[in-house]
Amino acid sequence: MENGVKGYGEGYLAVFAPKVFKSITDLCKPYLIGKDCFDIRRRVADLCSVCDYWSLQGAARHVTSAIEIALVDAKSKSLKCPAYDLFGGSKTDEIEAYGSGGICDTKDHFREELDLLNSLGIKKYKIRAVKEDILRTAWILEEAAKHGIEVGIDMCQNLADPPQKVEDVTHYVDEIKKISDKKILFLEEAIGPTNPEGFKELRKSIGIQICGGEVITTPFEMIERIKNNIYDFVQPDASVIGGMTAVMEIFSETKKNNIDTVVHAWGGPVAIMANYQCAFACHGKLVEYPMIPFKLEEEMFSDQRRIQNGKVLKPTADGIGIYFSDDIEHRYDFDDEAVYSCVVAERGQPPDEYWKDNNLK
């Protein structure tokens, strides 16, 4: 901004295809320079005019998300208030967190993550699993229960081609029930994103909360799914769906339909804090706490992401609550190989028999 304030934004696309992200950002830049950045809705409308014809859904929406978040950050910093104050203020001082990890190939790795959750007082834990992980899932359900921790399952079907069928999911759950009496807290992305009727069928037949929505790039599509009773709770991401204002729209719609919004927060620190700000502004009941730490994360969060007794405490700094500097930027050079890949690779994980436990029924 011309007043010297810097706003920071993040689009989830950038961790998958950073050069694509930069190219679209460069395309949009001329339509932002010299404009009133306090008029965030108008700036987002301008971006939609530039991009929607060729990317009504998908990549450009991630860039729009990043720019909108940056505008919110810059405006709230200029006004010397936390970002949630732009959306009516925080409605709570703390929100329960669930630990998001479980990409574990050994029992010791799982136990390390459970120890971390114990140290933070977190009592909900999401792991990643596929339909073949029957013994593995049963083992962690039992192991987590020793600590009073409930387990939800992300089946990652956004990454599968073709995605699994409803009967695959019901078989997976039925087989787990034969060897563990511990209840699965929720199933996330258990069906592919192009099969909303499959989600509805699961909701009717499986007796477990069904959720999803992290890949959805427009409020319109998510609201249609909400009205169609696809999910028990939805997981919008401000770095994907069009920014923080779009997430607020989803919170408003879910309240009308008596379901919950649990923001997806698996990006970098900017995306995480943007989503947390939305949750505080809308009295969210639960937020995601990613369990893959890295040094840059610690520096950018500074003292603004605090967890006590299993709850994320309300950030208090101006803006979205991110610290960044030229020094940090220089110490963490861009690495074009440091990207997420959606290709599901064989990483040498053990066979499911590894998880067999004589204590399972």
| Tens digits of residue pLDDT in 144-177 | 999 999 999 999 998 888 889 999 999 999 999 9
- Residue 347 is predicted with a pLDDT of 75
Q: Which residues contact 67 (CB under 8 A, 6 or more apart)?
A: 9, 25, 28, 32, 43, 44, 47, 243
- CA 253/CA 275 separation, integer angstroms: 17
pLDDT of 126 higher than 80: yes
Tens-place pLDDT, residues 17-56: 999 999 999 999 999 999 999 999 999 999 999 999 999 9
89-111 confidence digits (pLDDT tens)? 999 999 999 999 999 999 999 99
Given this model, what pLDDT does residue 336 score?
86
The set of residues, in sequence order, having a beta carbon less than 8 Å from that of 174 and lying 6+ positions away, is none
Give the whole-angstrom CA distance, residue 280 versus residue 315.
9
For the chain, list the domains and their CATH numbers.
Answer: 12-82 (no CATH), 85-331 (3.20.20.120)
Strand partners, 260: 233
Per-residue confidence band for 358, with pLDDT thresholds at 50, 70 and 90: low
- Token pair 């009308």 is at which residue? 256
Per-residue pLDDT tens for 239-249? Answer: 999 999 999 99
For residue 141, which of 189, 188, 173 has the smallest C-alpha distance?
Answer: 173
Quickly tell me which residue has 């949630």 as its tokens: 84
